[in-house]
C-alpha cells in the first residue's frame, strides 16, 4: 500500500511538469559582482529559456544563487497556460515583497508567458515588480536592468518573428549531466481556441538546423547521453537557408509565388531528427510535442530506422469527440487521431510508448462527448498522460466565442474519471512490460535508496534497479520483474 502511495507521488510529479512544479538554478561562484536567482514555472520551454537567461546574465556580471534572500536580482519565469498557474505566481510575488522589504535594493523581474500576457499590468497597476520581459526580449535584459538601476521601471514585451536565441549557449546549471533539452523552434501558429501560447510566445519560427546540430554535438562532447528536441509542434519544424521560408506555410506560399527552391537548403522535422540521431549512436534522441494534425509517417519511419531515437510519442488528443475538437480548432477529428495511432502501431509496433494531454469540460461539452474522451482512451491504451480541466484564458478564441458553461464541479468530476482511467491503463501497460528486457539510461540514484539506480527506458518509463557497479550515464539492460502504475522495477541482465 505504502509503495503504491509513493508511486502515485511519482505520477503526480510527472503530471505536474506542465505547470505546478518550479525549478531554481543552483549556485555559481565565479566572483561576479551581483547574484541572480531564477524561479521557473510552466513547460520545459520555459525551463530551457531560463538557461538562456542565465547565460546572458552570467555574461553581464551576475553569478547565480539558489536562495532568493541572497539575491540582488530575482526573476520569476512565468507560465500563463491556466488560471491556477498565474494565481500561484501572484502568491509568490506577494511573498517576495517581504524579501524586498528586508533588502529594498533587490530587483524583482517577471519573465515569460505571464509577463507577455499582462504586459504593463504588473508593472504599473500593481506596482509589485521592477522589470517585465517577454519570451523574445531576453537579449535586452542587461539594458532593462540598467534602466532599473537608474531608478526606472523597465519593460520589453515585443514579440519577434525571427528570434530563436540560436547563437546563445544555454548554461545547463540544473542538468544531471546526462540529458539536456534543446529548443528547435519557438512560438506557435496553431491557434487552438483554448490556448494562450500563440499570444504569449508569438509566431512560429524554426531555429537554424546547423546551430541545433552544433549544440547537440557540443553536448555529446561534454558527455551528455540524451537530448530532447523541444517545440510546441515539432512536426511543423522547417528551416531553410532562405530567410523567406521560415515555416511550412511560408514554404507553400513561396512555391505558389514561383520562388526557385532548388538551390536552398531545406530541413524538415524528419530530416532534422535523422541528422541529430546520426551525431552519435550512443545519444538517445527524444522530442516533444507532436501535433496529431501534422505528425506524418516520415517521422515515424525515421524513428523506426534509428535505434537511438526513443520509441515514445507524446500525442496530445485534448478530446475524443470530433465536435469538441472542431470547437477547439485542433485541425483533426477523432477518426484522424485514431488513424495516427494506427500508423504508430503499424510502423513502430505495440512497444512504442504513447502519452496524451486531455482537457475535461471544454465549453459546451456534453456528458456523451466526455464519454467519447474516455472511449478514445480505451481504444488507445496510453502509457501515461497529462490531464487538466478547462480554464478559460483571456484573449483566446474560446474566450471570445464560447461561454465557459461547464460547472467547476462537473469539470472536476470528469477530470477525475479521466485520471482514474489513465491510472488503470498505466498499470495495464506497465504490467505488459513484466518479463521484458529494456535498455535503461541511468539518470542517478533512486530517491528511495542509494543501493538502487533510476533511469528511463526508450518508452520514457522510469525504471528502478539494483546499483551493482553502474553509474549515471550508463546504458544498462534491465529485465522487468514488477511494476506499479508509474514505475517499472527489475534486475540487471549482463
| The entry of ligand SAH, ligand SF4, ligand F3S, none that residue 200 binds, CB within 5 to 8 Å by partner kind | ligand F3S
- The reply to whether 145 sits near ligand F3S by the rule CB under 6 A is no
Q: Which is nearer to ligand SF4, 188 or 341 (CB)?
A: 188
> Within 315-354, which residues bind ligand SAH (CB under 6 A)?
316, 318
Question: Taking Cα atoms as reference points, which of 20, 31, 131 lies closest to residue 75?
Answer: 131
| The entry of ligand SAH, ligand F3S, ligand SF4, none that residue 82 binds, CB within 5 to 8 Å by partner kind | ligand SAH
- The reply to whether 201 sits near ligand F3S by the rule CB under 6 A is yes
- The reply to whether 133 sits near ligand SAH by the rule CB under 6 A is no
Listed in sequence order, the residues at least 6 apart from 307 whose beta carbon sits closer than 8 Å to its beta carbon are 281
**Locus of grid cell 471544454:** 362
53, 80, 188, 486: residue in contact with ligand SF4 (rule CB under 6 A) = 188
76, 79, 111, 398: residue in contact with ligand F3S (rule CB under 6 A) = 79
38 backbone φψ class: left, alpha, beta (φ>0; ψ -120 to 50) = beta
- The reply to whether 81 sits near ligand SAH by the rule CB under 6 A is yes
Say how many residues touch ligand SF4, by CB under 6 A: 10
CB of 430 to ligand F3S, least distance (A): 27
| The entry of ligand SF4, ligand SAH, ligand F3S, none that residue 185 binds, CB within 5 to 8 Å by partner kind | none
CB of 295 to ligand SAH, least distance (A): 11
What value does the CA radius of gyration of the chain take, rounded to a whole number of Å?
A: 23
- The reply to whether 82 sits near ligand SAH by the rule CB under 6 A is yes
Q: Which is nearer to ligand SAH, 311 or 393 (CB)?
A: 393
CB of 9 to ligand SAH, least distance (A): 22
| The entry of ligand SF4, ligand F3S, ligand SAH, none that residue 198 binds, CB within 5 to 8 Å by partner kind | ligand SF4
190, 290, 321, 426: residue in contact with ligand SF4 (rule CB under 6 A) = 190
CB of 227 to ligand SF4, least distance (A): 21
Candidate ranges 195-203, 258-266, 324-332, 459-467; the one touching ligand F3S (CB under 6 A): 195-203
7, 14, 46, 154: residue in contact with ligand F3S (rule CB under 6 A) = 46
CB of 83 to ligand SF4, least distance (A): 16
25, 45, 283, 486: residue in contact with ligand F3S (rule CB under 6 A) = 45
| The entry of ligand SF4, ligand F3S, ligand SAH, none that residue 111 binds, CB within 5 to 8 Å by partner kind | none
- The reply to whether 288 sits near ligand SF4 by the rule CB under 6 A is no
Candidate ranges 75-83, 177-185, 295-303, 396-404; the one touching ligand F3S (CB under 6 A): 75-83
Q: Which is nearer to ligand SAH, 35 or 414 (CB)?
A: 414
40, 232, 247, 319: residue in contact with ligand SAH (rule CB under 6 A) = 232
Q: Under a CB-based contact definition with an 8 Å cutoff, are residues 232 and 190 in contact? A: yes
Q: Long-range CB contacts (< 8 A, 24+ apart) of 326-329?
A: 327/193, 327/362, 327/363, 327/364, 327/398, 327/402, 328/192, 328/193, 328/194, 328/359, 328/362, 328/398, 329/190, 329/191, 329/192, 329/193, 329/397
Q: Which is nearer to ligand SF4, 171 or 192 (CB)?
A: 192
3-state secondary structure the chain: CHHHHHHHHHHHHHHCCCCCCCEECCCCCCCCCEEEEEEECCCHHHHHHHHHHHHHHHCCCEEECCCHHHCCEEEEEECCCCHHHHHHHHHHHHHHHHHHHHCCCCEEEEEHHHHHHHCHHHHHHCCCCCEEECCCCHHHHHHHHHHHHCCCCEEECCCCCCCCCCCCCCCCCCCCCCEEEEECEECCCCCCCCCCHHHHHCCCEECCHHHHHHHHHHHHHCCCCEEEEECCCHHHCEEECCCCCCCHHHHHHHHHCCCCCCCCCEEEHHHHHHHHHHHCCCCEEEEECCCCCCCCHHHHHHHHHCCCECCEEECCCECCCHHHHHHCCCCCCHHHHHHHHHHHHHHHCCCCEEEEEEEECCCCCCHHHHHHHHHHHHHHCCCEEEEEECCCCCCCHHHHHCCCCCCHHHHHHHHHHHHHHHHHHHHHHHHHCCCCEEEEEEEEECCCCCCEEEEECCCCCEEEEECCCCCCCCEEEEEEEEECCCEEEEEECC
Candidate ranges 97-105, 200-208, 274-282, 385-393; the one touching ligand SAH (CB under 6 A): 385-393
Sheet holding 384-389: strands in order across? 312-314, 353-360, 384-389
- The reply to whether 157 sits near ligand F3S by the rule CB under 6 A is no
Say how many residues touch ligand SAH, by CB under 6 A: 18
Window 390-419: contact mask with ligand SAH (x via CB under 6 A): xx-x--------------------------
- The reply to whether 189 sits near ligand SAH by the rule CB under 6 A is no
Please report, as ranges, the residues that interact with ligand SAH according to CB under 6 A: 18, 81-82, 194-195, 197, 232-233, 289, 291, 316, 318, 357, 359, 388, 390-391, 393
Please report, as ranges, the residues that interact with ligand F3S according to CB under 6 A: 18, 42-43, 45-46, 79-81, 112-113, 196-197, 200-201
Please report, as ranges, the residues that interact with ligand SF4 according to CB under 6 A: 188, 190-192, 195, 197-198, 232-233, 291
Amino acid at each position: 500500500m505504502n509503495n503504491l502511495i509513493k508511486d502515485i507521488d511519482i505520477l503526480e510529479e510527472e503530471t505536474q511538469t506542465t505547470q505546478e512544479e518550479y525549478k531554481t538554478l543552483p549556485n555559481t561562484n565565479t566572483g561576479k559582482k551581483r547574484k541572480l536567482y531564477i524561479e521557473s514555472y510552466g513547460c520545459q520551454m520555459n525551463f530551457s529559456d531560463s538557461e538562456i537567461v542565465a547565460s546572458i546574465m552570467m555574461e553581464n556580471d551576475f553569478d547565480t544563487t539558489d536562495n532568493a534572500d541572497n539575491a540582488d536580482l530575482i526573476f520569476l519565469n512565468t507560465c500563463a497556460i491556466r488560471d491556477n498557474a498565474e494565481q500561484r505566481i501572484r502568491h509568490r510575488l506577494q511573498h517576495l515583497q517581504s524579501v524586498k522589504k528586508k533588502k529594498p535594493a533587490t530587483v524583482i523581474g517577471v519573465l515569460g508567458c505571464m509577463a507577455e500576457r499582462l504586459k504593463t499590468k504588473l508593472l504599473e497597476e500593481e506596482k509589485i515588480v521592477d522589470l517585465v520581459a517577454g519570451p523574445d526580449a531576453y537579449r535586452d535584459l542587461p539594458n532593462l536592468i540598467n534602466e532599473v538601476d537608474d531608478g526606472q521601471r523597465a519593460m520589453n514585451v515585443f514579440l519577434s518573428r525571427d528570434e530563436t536565441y540560436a547563437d546563445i549557449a544555454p548554461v545547463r546549471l540544473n542538468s544531471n549531466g546526462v540529458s539536456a533539452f534543446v529548443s528547435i523552434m519557438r512560438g506557435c501558429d496553431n491557434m487552438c481556441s483554448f490556448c494562450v501560447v500563440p499570444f504569449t510566445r508569438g509566431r512560429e519560427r524554426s531555429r537554424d538546423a546547423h546551430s541545433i546540430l552544433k549544440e547537440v554535438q557540443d553536448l555529446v562532447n561534454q558527455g551528455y547521453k540524451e537530448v530532447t528536441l523541444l517545440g510546441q509542434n515539432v512536426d511543423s519544424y522547417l528551416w531553410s537557408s532562405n530567410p523567406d521560408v521560415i515555416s511550412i506555410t511560408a514554404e507553400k506560399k513561396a512555391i505558389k509565388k514561383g520562388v526557385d527552391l532548388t538551390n536552398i537548403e531545406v530541413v524538415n522535422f524528419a530530416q532534422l531528427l535523422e541528422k541529430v540521431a546520426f551525431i552519435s549512436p550512443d545519444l538517445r534522441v527524444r522530442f516533444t510535442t507532436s501535433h496529431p494534425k501534422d505528425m506524418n509517417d516520415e517521422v515515424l519511419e525515421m524513428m523506426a530506422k534509428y535505434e537511438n531515437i526513443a520509441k515514445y510519442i507524446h500525442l496530445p488528443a485534448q478530446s475524443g469527440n470530433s465536435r469538441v475538437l472542431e470547437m477547439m480548432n485542433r485541425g483533426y477529428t477523432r477518426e484522424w487521431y485514431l488513424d495516427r495511432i494506427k500508423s504508430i502501431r503499424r510502423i513502430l509496433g505495440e512497444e512504442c510508448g504513447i502519452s496524451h494531454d486531455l482537457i475535461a469540460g471544454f465549453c459546451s461539452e456534453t456528458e456523451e462527448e466526455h464519454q467519447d474522451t474516455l472511449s478514445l482512451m480505451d481504444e488507445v491504451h496510453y502509457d501515461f498522460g497529462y490531464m487538466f480541466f478547462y480554464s478559460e484564458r483571456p484573449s483566446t478564441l474560446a474566450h471570445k466565442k464560447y461561454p465557459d458553461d461547464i460547472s467547476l464541479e462537473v469539470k472536476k468530476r470528469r477530470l477525475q474519471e479521466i485520471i482514474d482511467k489513465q491510472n488503470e491503463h498505466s498499470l495495464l501497460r506497465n504490467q505488459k512490460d513484466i518479463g521484458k528486457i529494456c535498455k535503461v539510461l541511468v539518470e542517478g540514484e533512486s530517491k528511495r535508496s542509494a543501493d538502487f539506480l533510476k533511469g528511463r527506458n526508450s518508452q520514457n518509463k522510469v525504471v528502478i534497479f539494483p546499483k551493482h557497479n553502474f553509474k549515471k550515464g550508463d546504458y544498462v539492460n534491465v529485465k522487468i520483474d514488477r511494476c506499479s502504475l508509474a514505475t517499472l522495477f527489475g534486475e540487471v541482465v549482463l
